[in-house]
Chains A and B, each alone.
Chain A
Amino acid sequence: EVQLVQSGAGVKKPGESLRISCKASGYTFTGYWIGWVRQMPGKGLEWMGIIFPRDSDTRYSPSFQGQVTISADKSITTAYLQWSSLKASDTAMYYCVRLETAAFPRLIVPFDYWGQGTLVTVSS
């Protein structure tokens, strides 16, 4: 059974750093892209970026390029989303997603599995 299990909720202050994680199991981690989707409070979904764990090829939405870092550790089948300096506007739920099939620039079968979400709250 495919599972994406995310790290727990966190409260941080503006300017602090943070890394949240997504532990994947039940499939070949190095064979699929894995990525992140943001959902701000009461708002819609925003695709942030994806990484291919086999070679760490990473693709970002222009809106998030330079704002976050996506990485993966294939030895422990875990993906990460990292901020070096949080802002209040980073307050959101973040979902880890698996990309089933892609033929770039197009996605064929998109995000078929989702993590449970990690709520990040940034407040002074």
Chain B
Amino acid sequence: DIQLTQSPSFLSASAGDRVTITCRASQGISNYLAWYRQQPGKAPKLLIYAASTLLSGVPSRFSGSGSGTDFTLTISSLQPEDFATYYCQQLNSSPYTFGQGTTLEIK
């Protein structure tokens, strides 16, 4: 199975800050990577697929980059609803594993 390691696991920031989350795959997955946001008590929501393509309706403050084994999710200006847990998921091969999650907390 392909392992995904996210860093950091926890991140404290303030509204308006720019933050970056990293996801590293245990083997190359080209650009077959997605990012999700899970707000407390809610189902996850797809933000980005193909490493950098925003799903329709997702705010432009979200951006993704990377290819191969190293990927990043950047939020340019944090909004209150962005304080949540973020997961990456590899889409290259079954089983379609997720990273362990990064929890973004209000500083």
Contact = CB atoms under 8 A, between A and B. Distances in A.
Interface of A: 37, 44-47, 59, 61-63, 95, 105-112, 114-117
Contacts of A63: 95
Interface in B53-107: 55, 87, 89, 91-101
SS of A interface (majority): strand
Interface of B: 1, 32, 34, 36, 38, 43-46, 49-50, 55, 87, 89, 91-101
B43 A114 contact: yes
Nearest to A6: B43
Interface of B is mostly: loop
Given A45-B98, A105-B94, 19 more contacts: A44-B98, A46-B98, A47-B98, A62-B1, A63-B95, A106-B92, A106-B93, A107-B32, A107-B96, A108-B91, A109-B55, A110-B96, A111-B34, A111-B36, A111-B44, A111-B46, A112-B46, A114-B45, A116-B43
